Amino acid sequence: MAEDDEQVPLTGKLRDKLVESKQAWAREGRLLTGTHADPARDRLPPGQTLVKDWPVLDLGVQPEVTPDRWRLRVEGLVQAPVRLTLEEFMALPQEERVNDIHCVTQWSRYDNHWQGVPARDLVALARPKDEARFVSFTSYDGYTTNVPLEEFIRDEVLLAHSWEGAPLTRQHGGPVRVVLPRLYFWKSPKWVTRIELLRDDRPGFWEVRGYHNNGDPWLEERYG
Ligand SMILES: Nc1nc2c(c(=O)[nH]1)N[C@H]1C(S)=C(S)[C@@H](COP(=O)(O)O)O[C@H]1N2
Ligand SMILES: [Mo]
């Protein structure tokens, strides 16, 4: 079906100024405290500030993905490529997670309640080939990001459709986003549509613009 093979190029409507200023932060090493923290002891990573509201951050394009149009694909180095409609996705076993968000622009938000499908269950459905080591995500706004496969299949990682008991809003990445709380939040794509398993790493949108390839908040891996 044509819509399943839909390409998702970056649109021309990016907020260029926002992208430029975030790239400048990386060049200047802004917000770096030069310290590390121990996740077992300190809940707030170095240089972070706690917020109570939930800020919205993206490239300025918030695609409207209607439930009937949404598709999720898990493909690449897999034995059984997965293509799901939202209905099929919602029929998979659902779980809840509670975790903290840490954004590289310095805000952290505690105790977010998510509902969705564990990443490891989705990956298991697709049966990764032995040589699969990395994951590249593509979203409906054209955004991309990347993580090692072993980060993606950690127990806490969800493909989330709900937050605090209500469907995820469009501005926060609904119908479905990745929530990968152990890394800075730019590693958690909103409006996700494609999960590709790879042999070699493929740096994403911010990773090629001066942001750290790994992005561990406890090690303050903001830029790199
Ligand atoms: N598709 C997509 N996902 C994205 C982004 C984006 O621009 N597009 N921005 C990332 C960044 S930089 C952050 S901090 C979080 C913000 O998520 P929120 O708007 O729900 O707080 O989404 C991440 N995921
Ligand atoms: Mo971010």
pLDDT (average), residues 10-35: 84
57 lines ligand 1 (CB under 6 A): yes
- Ligand 1 near 143 CB (within 6 A): yes
Is the confidence at residue 6, as pLDDT, over 60? no
Task: Give the number of the atom of ligand 1 that is nearest the alpha carbon of residue 22.
Answer: 12
- Among residues 124, 142, 125, 127, the alpha carbon closest in space to that of 84 is found at 125
Place of tokens 């809940």: 43
Q: Which atom of ligand 1 is nearest to the CA of 184?
A: 14
Residue with tokens 């659902």, as numbered in its chain: 94
pLDDT at 10: 66
Atom of ligand 1 nearest to the CA of 57: 19
Give the model's pLDDT for residue 67. Answer: 96
Which residue has the least CA distance to atom 22 on ligand 1?
186
Q: Tell me the pLDDT of the chain averaged across its residues.
A: 94
Greatest CA separation for the chain: 51
Q: Domains of the chain, with CATH numbers?
A: 14-219 (3.90.420.10)
Candidate from 112, 188, 191, 194 with most ligand 1 atoms within 8 A of CB, to mutate: 188
The tens digit of pLDDT for each residue in 38-64 reads: 888 889 999 999 999 999 999 999 999
